[in-house]
Structure 1
Amino acid sequence: MCGIVGIVGRGPVAPLIVDALKRLEYRGYDSAGVATIEAGVLGRRRAEGKLVNLEKRLNAEPLDGKIGIGHTRWATHGVPNETNAHPHFSNGVAVVHNGIIENFASLRDELIADGYVFSSQTDTEVVAHLIARELKRGADPVAAAHGTLKQLEGAFALAIMFQGDEDLIVGARNGPPLAVGHGEGEMFLGSDAIALAPFTNSVTYLEDGDWATIRRDKAEIFDMDGARVERKRQQSLSTSYMVDKGNRRHFMEKEIHEQPEVISHTLAHYLDFTSDSSKPLDLPFDFAKLDRIAISACGTAYLSGLIGKYWFERLARLPVDIDIASEFRYREMPISKDSAAFFISQSGETADTLASLRYCRSAGVPIGAIVNVRESTIARESDVVLPTLAGPEIGVASTKAFTCQLSVLASLAVRAGVARGTISREQEKALVHQLSEAPRFATQVLKLEEQIEKLARDLSRYHHVLYLGRDTNFPLAMEGALKLKEISYIHAEGYAAGELKHGPIALIDENMPVIVIAPHDRIFEKTVSNMQEVAARGGKIILITDKKGAALASVKTMETIVLPDVPEIIAPLIYALPIQMLAYFTAVFMGTDVDQPRNLAKSVTVE
């Protein structure tokens, strides 16, 4: 998760920006930079690696401007180096950016045709050149920024400065978070309130689609049409030493909403969006020579592995054995040395998963760790660490760690398909491009919050819920049931829809809501048949589908949640969000402890 800081201040801001960026180090980064305006002129210092390298540059070559923007970058487009580090400049425009500009390739080609020269591999530089072009065409800085925003597709947060104007930063949010901090004769902009804590505790959080002009004496916020909007100004409880809930009631809610950003950074770690290709990986095995993969994990991580099994077998024609770690470690599974093993854990400390890893280690099998904590025991004892870049996840019920695990597994499956020759170069390009769209679609789904919250109020009145799905939606059905029972304490079960007649149908009556996860796909009609069986027995159906699925379902539902039409490979990432939100709001109405549900721990370090 990249970090953004902007200050319109009363004295030199570069040291303050660096200090603020340090409070965002928990988000992860691989380069950093600061730009200020002094005597009307833009200046910039950037460095690869940690902030200490940037500090050395600033000590040797200070920036004394009283207005500035800073950034810590996780590489998405282009390798981590100084040239690709932010801020990016173009003819008096400075830009820092979190997220992914999905249509950057077509915009770049258009700009190159107009004579603009690119010095980096990043998608961000497109934004700087677009704004510069708007200025050249006669727009003032605010209009140039607004005009550019309307051309961008994807999930992004931006901070923009203009040479010659020492009293203006433009900020914009479409997905990744951004907050305005209010001071006396100075104003601030930051990725979250933690960065701004030493300067102010008075914060306004931008909402998706908002953009703002920030000056020393005020901030004005607009929607994407340019109309003025009012957003609540509130007191932040952040300190520089704590991860903050922001403007959310619970960490779980905040972490659900962080998913567009963390998905983008995780995908970009494994995929090259500039060339629409999977990145080569330094693995202790060759996918082309494996005869199978073993995957083991617990809880939600296990369910991400189940979805990964579908991807590996479909895209790479590579058989996958998957077990719950507590079973894997005891059933003495025979393992070939021509196989590899992946172990999935948010914390990297899960006891059963670690024991399973050690079993494979004793068998001489190469091991990969899909973990969110690189310094964890599972990471240290593996041959290769395949990180999820979710950042700290405080809520016990996993949300963003799950979708980041899915992002890693999807990327690995594509890479395996390339290595094994089961997908062509054209298929690889298409799959990588489809994966790059996931953050934008995730942002769209989060806007269904009001509908899902209303539905959750009704769901909270029931004592039992059944989830159904086919293909990758079967593990998602189990994940939806797990989330609901974890935090609301409502009994829930997830089944393969085709298993309905083999037992679960006996439970169906007017007191048993059935949540069906069914995008319109090649097996949609079979799932509709299962819904008809439920309807015939008086069951209340909640259908999660897309527009075409909603039109063709031909079954009366208690509620239909219509998601965007998405490519098959990213459907599990996108359909995970409504089941998370439904569990979250149901738990809120039940009055349970959402972030720390009873009897559960974030990291299970004992058997």
Structure 2
Amino acid sequence: MCGIFAYVLCNFPKERKHILEVLFNGLRRLEYRGYDSAGISIDYEPCNATKASGGLKDLAISRPPLVFRQSGKIEKLVTTVYQEVDETELDLEVTFPNHVGIAHTRWATHGPPSPKNSHPQSSGEGNEFLVVHNGIITNYMVLKETLLRHGFTFESDTDTEVIPKLAKFVYDKLSEEINSMKQSGGEALSFHQVVMEVVRQLEGAYALIFKSPHYPNELVACKRGSPLLIGVKSPGCPAKDVKEDADVKDGFSTLKDSGSRKELFLASDASALVEHTKRVMIIEDDEVVHVKDGSVSIFKFDPTKNLGGLRRPASVQRALSTLDMEVEQIKKGNYDHFMQKEIYEQPESLRTTLRGRLIPGDESKVKGVLLGGLKAHLRTIRRSRRILFIGCGTSFHAALATRPLVEELSEVPVTMEIASDFLDRRAPIYREDTAVFVSQSGETADTLQALEYAKSHGALCVGITNTVGSAISRGTDCGVHINAGCEIGVASTKAYTSQIAVMTMLALAIGEDAISTRARREAIIDGLLDLPGVVKEVLKLDEKMKELAATLMEEQSLLLFGRGYNYATALEGALKVKELALMHSEGILAGEMKHGPLALVDETLPIIVIATRDSTCSKQQSVIQQLQARKGRLIVMCAKGDAAIMCPNGASYVIEVPHIQDCLQPIINIIPLQLLAYHLTVLRGFNVDQPRNLAKSVTTE
């Protein structure tokens, strides 16, 4: 949930002001993930500094790294930094040929938002070790008690503070041991050796970046369960000028070239890298990355095994990848908010998701779908004992929306599992099962843990994510990338509709060998081909949903009734209103109305009933009549032209949406509810893109 960014200069002279602005802008690119405080660390002085007024001179590093931390927004941190620069007369024009700067946005878990709880966290006086951290250290109390006994004092409430203090403890201890080794010809203690001994003691999830004046201009990063990427930019290689097919040797040699001129960027999210470079490398779990003298070394180690002394672990070679992202995707353009932009991008995101995967059919070809990532495993999926959909929040709702179709076309039982509950129960799972893991980011902590659990029991694991190279896409046996594009707003919109489209194609692929359902499948394919155009049409309801939002903005609660394919629509619509407009809302299965929820109905409580054309339409008509009999304040969503049929006695508000194939209707029906949540939030004066207490990617439990 926290944001990590680092900027490394390798024989690439830049002024302090430039370094500060790159770090600040890296944080700005990460702020969409949600945060409540921020901080940075830069060097006070370089070993070699060139001032604008004169030539080169050697300077010994006599002052510890500077650390700036502040609660609140990034601009508050920026103001604090430049105020301190003015007060201390810190030279912004001094040039650093080499430099390591680290930055962080924090989402509070241990201790409230405050400067002392912000990152970077320090080892103490002198800032001998500084750390930025995304994740949670579950055994921090045990480590803290140990360090307290060794004389360390703690200032923050965070779990992170134990890490830099543990680094100092390890460094001091190993330095004593290695002194005798140096005298007998042994090697000096390296930065990555210190970090390895530190992370060997840590339990939990983390992505970490270490900085230390003991190792000037060096950086060490590592991860376990939280995302972290490296971007590389060399002179004469602009961000978009990238070889698509760099092999391992070429990709790795770019990073191993010690002494070469380059800029390196490390981040927990690709959105902070894309404006600088599209040449990236994904750091895997239990890898330690050491940046030194322009060279990047990657070491793989087993944290459960002691290497014995300070033996060097095996190094890893890996090719650079190319980011499939453009700078324009992380900018708002002409829209007021990222969420508004992403709602309006849905025709194009769906078109991209479907492109190349639908076979329209002609005289020589049967209509069908082509999912290359699943082709080799479809026979196994068809023979499954059952199919499990596992996800959290919006991703769970997307899977729920497609469950009826998967069951219909595959004739295999489908089980829905919320990842956290699945883990809490240690639910039984078998080799004959297919487990489908749905996650927008591909890094969701509970879903990742559920994946490891399913793999350990031998199930076939399928991933559906929006992020190429994510932990879920790497950890599953096969899968589909949804191609929805970068999503900046915390509340998922276009990823949700693209997930439904992908899982609809999954159902079609599983059932493609059944003759009895051929006509049904072809009708759905025709609907998918028409889908982007129909979504474009439903977006014309924007002004109408703004009017509805104005009538609801003072309300305290909202109920949404759905059934069949659209039970998920009710849940997702309620979630959007809840997380954005901070208004109590609840999605209810309409079939359960008489088992309790009916007691809430009166003339003041607004109730949205989703009653578009499908097999449950007549049942929803009955629900509407029962609510009207109890003077319910009804808002009815129905197909165009059906208002008189569905609401013969009228309703306080009717939302008429275009009709499409029943299994695709949830994609159409959610869009007016996304618009409603958006306008409610704006009218109520809340932050649409950064809802209170929430983060974009939940990478910790």
* Residue pair 2:613, 2:662 contacting (<8 A) in 1 also: no
* Residue pair 2:565, 2:663 contacting (<8 A) in 1 also: no
Tell me, in whole angstroms, the C-alpha distance in 1 between the residues paired with 2:686 and 2:629: 34
**SS of structure 2 residue aligned to 1:253:** helix
Distance apart, 1:441 and its partner CA: 0.5
| Alignment match, 1:14 | none
- Does residue 345 of structure 2 align to residue 258 of structure 1? yes
Alignment partner for residue 619 of structure 2, among 526, 541, 553?
A: 526
User: How has the CA–CA distance of structure 1 residues 283 and 299 changed in structure 2, closer, same or farther, with 3 Å as cutoff?
Assistant: farther
Tell me, in whole angstroms, the C-alpha distance in 1 between the residues paired with 2:453 and 2:244: 44
**SS of structure 1 residue aligned to 2:425:** coil
User: How has the CA–CA distance of structure 1 residues 54 and 464 changed in structure 2, closer, same or farther, with 3 Å as cutoff?
Assistant: closer
Tell me, in whole angstroms, the C-alpha distance in 2 between the residues paired with 1:304 and 1:422: 26
| Alignment match, 2:409 | 315
| Alignment match, 1:45 | none
After alignment, is 549-558 or 585-594 more displaced?
549-558
* Residue pair 2:641, 2:656 contacting (<8 A) in 1 also: no
Distance apart, 1:420 and its partner CA: 5.0
Amino acid at match of 1:467: L
User: How has the CA–CA distance of structure 1 residues 588 and 359 changed in structure 2, closer, same or farther, with 3 Å as cutoff?
Assistant: same
User: How has the CA–CA distance of structure 1 residues 419 and 457 changed in structure 2, closer, same or farther, with 3 Å as cutoff?
Assistant: same
Figure out how many residues of one structure are paired with residues of the other and give that number.
377
* Residue pair 2:368, 2:508 contacting (<8 A) in 1 also: no
**SS of structure 1 residue aligned to 2:462:** strand
User: How has the CA–CA distance of structure 1 residues 557 and 564 changed in structure 2, closer, same or farther, with 3 Å as cutoff?
Assistant: same
Alignment partner for residue 416 of structure 1, among 504, 510, 513?
A: 510
Tell me, in whole angstroms, the C-alpha distance in 1 between the residues paired with 2:245 and 2:623: 62
Alignment partner for residue 398 of structure 1, among 479, 482, 492?
A: 492
**SS of structure 2 residue aligned to 1:330:** helix
Alignment partner for residue 366 of structure 1, among 441, 460, 465?
A: 460
Pairs within 5 Å for 1:383-532: 383-419=477-513, 423-424=517-518, 426-532=519-625
Tell me, in whole angstroms, the C-alpha distance in 2 between the residues paired with 1:360 and 1:420: 29
| Alignment match, 1:326 | 420
Tell me, in whole angstroms, the C-alpha distance in 2 between the residues paired with 1:255 and 1:548: 29
User: How has the CA–CA distance of structure 1 residues 500 and 402 changed in structure 2, closer, same or farther, with 3 Å as cutoff?
Assistant: same
* Residue pair 2:368, 2:512 contacting (<8 A) in 1 also: no
Q: Which runs of 5+ in 2 are unaligned?
A: 1-239, 247-273, 276-325
Tell me, in whole angstroms, the C-alpha distance in 2 between the residues paired with 1:292 and 1:423: 20
* Residue pair 1:311, 1:410 contacting (<8 A) in 2 also: yes
Tell me, in whole angstroms, the C-alpha distance in 2 between the residues paired with 1:596 and 1:375: 25
**SS of structure 1 residue aligned to 2:355:** helix
- Percentage identity across aligned positions? 40
State the Cα deviation string for residues 254-311 of structure 1 (Å, max 9, x = none): 0000001111111224322355321154343523322211111000000111112111
| Alignment match, 2:368 | 277
* Residue pair 1:315, 1:414 contacting (<8 A) in 2 also: yes
After alignment, is 532-541 or 452-461 more displaced?
532-541
Distance apart, 1:241 and its partner CA: 7.6
* Residue pair 1:343, 1:357 contacting (<8 A) in 2 also: yes
Alignment partner for residue 381 of structure 1, among 468, 471, 475?
A: 475
Alignment partner for residue 344 of structure 1, among 421, 431, 438?
A: 438
User: How has the CA–CA distance of structure 1 residues 54 and 601 changed in structure 2, closer, same or farther, with 3 Å as cutoff?
Assistant: closer
| Alignment match, 2:35 | none
| Alignment match, 2:684 | 590
Pairs within 5 Å for 1:529-540: 529-540=622-633
Distance apart, 1:54 and its partner CA: 9.8
* Residue pair 1:379, 1:385 contacting (<8 A) in 2 also: yes
Tell me, in whole angstroms, the C-alpha distance in 2 between the residues paired with 1:327 and 1:392: 29
* Residue pair 1:514, 1:540 contacting (<8 A) in 2 also: yes
Tell me, in whole angstroms, the C-alpha distance in 1 between the residues paired with 2:419 and 2:524: 30
Tell me, in whole angstroms, the C-alpha distance in 2 between the residues paired with 1:564 and 1:315: 25
* Residue pair 1:288, 1:419 contacting (<8 A) in 2 also: no
State the Cα deviation string for residues 190-248 of structure 1 (Å, max 9, x = none): xxxx99xxxxxxxxxxxxxxxxxxxxxxxxxxxxxxxxxxxxxxxxxxx9587111111
| Alignment match, 2:644 | 551
**SS of structure 2 residue aligned to 1:284:** helix
Pairs within 5 Å for 1:28-39: none
Distance apart, 1:492 and its partner CA: 0.5
State the TM-score, normalized to the length of structure 1. 0.60
Distance apart, 1:433 and its partner CA: 1.2
* Residue pair 2:392, 2:419 contacting (<8 A) in 1 also: yes
State the TM-score, normalized to the length of structure 2. 0.52
Larger Rg: 2
Amino acid at match of 1:491: H
Distance apart, 1:538 and its partner CA: 2.2
Distance apart, 1:55 and its partner CA: 13
Amino acid at match of 1:602: K
* Residue pair 1:278, 1:428 contacting (<8 A) in 2 also: no
Alignment partner for residue 302 of structure 1, among 396, 399, 404?
A: 396
Tell me, in whole angstroms, the C-alpha distance in 2 between the residues paired with 1:542 and 1:450: 16
After alignment, is 250-259 or 562-571 more displaced?
562-571
Amino acid at match of 1:414: L
Cα RMSD for the two superposed structures: 2.3
Distance apart, 1:330 and its partner CA: 2.2
User: How has the CA–CA distance of structure 1 residues 271 and 536 changed in structure 2, closer, same or farther, with 3 Å as cutoff?
Assistant: same
* Residue pair 1:374, 1:385 contacting (<8 A) in 2 also: no
* Residue pair 1:396, 1:596 contacting (<8 A) in 2 also: yes
State the Cα deviation string for residues 318-339 of structure 1 (Å, max 9, x = none): 2111111000112122223222
Tell me, in whole angstroms, the C-alpha distance in 1 between the residues paired with 2:241 and 2:564: 45
Tell me, in whole angstroms, the C-alpha distance in 2 between the residues paired with 1:466 and 1:240: 39
* Residue pair 1:531, 1:555 contacting (<8 A) in 2 also: no
| Alignment match, 2:657 | 563
* Residue pair 2:570, 2:587 contacting (<8 A) in 1 also: yes
Amino acid at match of 1:278: V
**SS of structure 1 residue aligned to 2:512:** helix
User: How has the CA–CA distance of structure 1 residues 477 and 54 changed in structure 2, closer, same or farther, with 3 Å as cutoff?
Assistant: closer
* Residue pair 2:571, 2:588 contacting (<8 A) in 1 also: yes
Alignment partner for residue 293 of structure 1, among 387, 392, 395?
A: 387
Amino acid at match of 1:304: A
Distance apart, 1:576 and its partner CA: 1.3
Amino acid at match of 1:252: M
User: How has the CA–CA distance of structure 1 residues 285 and 330 changed in structure 2, closer, same or farther, with 3 Å as cutoff?
Assistant: farther
| Alignment match, 2:333 | 246
**SS of structure 1 residue aligned to 2:342:** helix
Tell me, in whole angstroms, the C-alpha distance in 2 between the residues paired with 1:459 and 1:562: 18
User: How has the CA–CA distance of structure 1 residues 461 and 269 changed in structure 2, closer, same or farther, with 3 Å as cutoff?
Assistant: farther
**SS of structure 2 residue aligned to 1:448:** helix
Amino acid at match of 1:575: N
State the Cα deviation string for residues 25-71 of structure 1 (Å, max 9, x = none): xxxxxxxxxxxxxxxxxxxxxxxxx9757999xxxxxxxxxxxxxxx
**SS of structure 1 residue aligned to 2:330:** coil
Distance apart, 1:475 and its partner CA: 1.1
Tell me, in whole angstroms, the C-alpha distance in 2 between the residues paired with 1:509 and 1:439: 38
Alignment partner for residue 354 of structure 2, among 261, 267, 280?
A: 267
Distance apart, 1:386 and its partner CA: 0.9
* Residue pair 2:611, 2:617 contacting (<8 A) in 1 also: yes
User: How has the CA–CA distance of structure 1 residues 334 and 445 changed in structure 2, closer, same or farther, with 3 Å as cutoff?
Assistant: same
| Alignment match, 2:259 | none
